[in-house]
Amino acid sequence: MFNGKKFRYGGHTLCKRDGSQQDFHVCLHLGLTDYRTFVGTNLNPLWEKFLVPSEDDLIRCQHTSCPLGNGAILETSDKKIVVLQRSYNVGEFPGHVVFPGGHPEPEEVGAASHQMGERLTNSEHNNSKVSQEMFDSIIREVVEEIGVPVTSLSNPLFIGISRRVLNVRPAAFFFIKCNIESKEIQRLYAGAKDGYESTQLYTVSLIELENMASKMPGCHQGGFALYKLMLEAMKNI
């Protein structure tokens, strides 16, 4: 359990869809890593020793585990955003305010090891499964950490990747709407499956979130910045 497999973030590209000159999709370049390697590189007190001097982020981080985390900007039906205060019993950033989230899981799609040889003929199918896991995993995390039913959630909208300065940890962020009001979410939180990972749930306005964001881990500060960029882009639609 401790040394579970994780997806390693190796960058991304923007690709045009077949026959389209304007319709793009994001292609994430993912490998495999594990928690032990993460603890030994990114979480190592000497983590900066693993970095390569380079302006290119991928070259700079090539000797680190860089497991891809995820986070959700979860909007309630009364337009509040859900954040959690992490338990003091967790390994990373105990006691900090964060967005709900965790990790996509390679084992959910049968990616227990790097697939070679004849299995490469199935690469398109594997890509599809991994892509779906990016979206399925953030829904799982929200349901397990907040306690809301899956039927109350919209399809996740991928809004970008954030990498924090401290130990260069990357995370994918998604925007999700929930058709439940803040007060009811507070009640449901009491029965959340993974409620032990946090000690308190807050539902806050955008202004309140702005004030809280500076105390979040860097990758979650980046998630908030991505959310604001999304809001700005939506004004132009």
What does each of the 237 residues of the chain score in pLDDT, given as a tens digit? 568 899 999 999 988 776 666 677 899 999 999 999 999 999 999 999 999 999 998 999 999 999 999 999 999 999 999 999 988 777 777 778 999 999 999 999 987 776 644 454 467 778 889 999 999 999 999 999 999 999 999 999 999 999 999 999 999 999 999 999 999 999 999 988 877 878 999 999 999 999 999 999 999 999 999 999 999 998 877
Which pTM does this prediction carry? 0.91
C-alpha atoms less than 13 angstroms from C-alpha of 170 in its C-beta half-sphere: 23
The ranges assigned to domains in the chain are 69-235
User: What does the pLDDT read at residue 116?
Assistant: 46
Domain 69-235 fold is: Nucleoside Triphosphate Pyrophosphohydrolase (3.90.79)
User: What does the pLDDT read at residue 197?
Assistant: 79
Residue 33 is encoded by which pair of tokens? 């890593």
Residue 125 is encoded by which pair of tokens? 């199918």
Distance of alpha carbon 106 from alpha carbon 115, whole angstroms: 12
Distance of alpha carbon 218 from alpha carbon 216, whole angstroms: 6
Cβ neighbours for 11, distance < 8 A, ≥ 6 positions apart? 28, 29, 57, 58
Q: Of 139, 153, 166, which is closest to residue 221 (Cα–Cα)?
A: 166
CB contact at 8 A, 180 and 188: yes
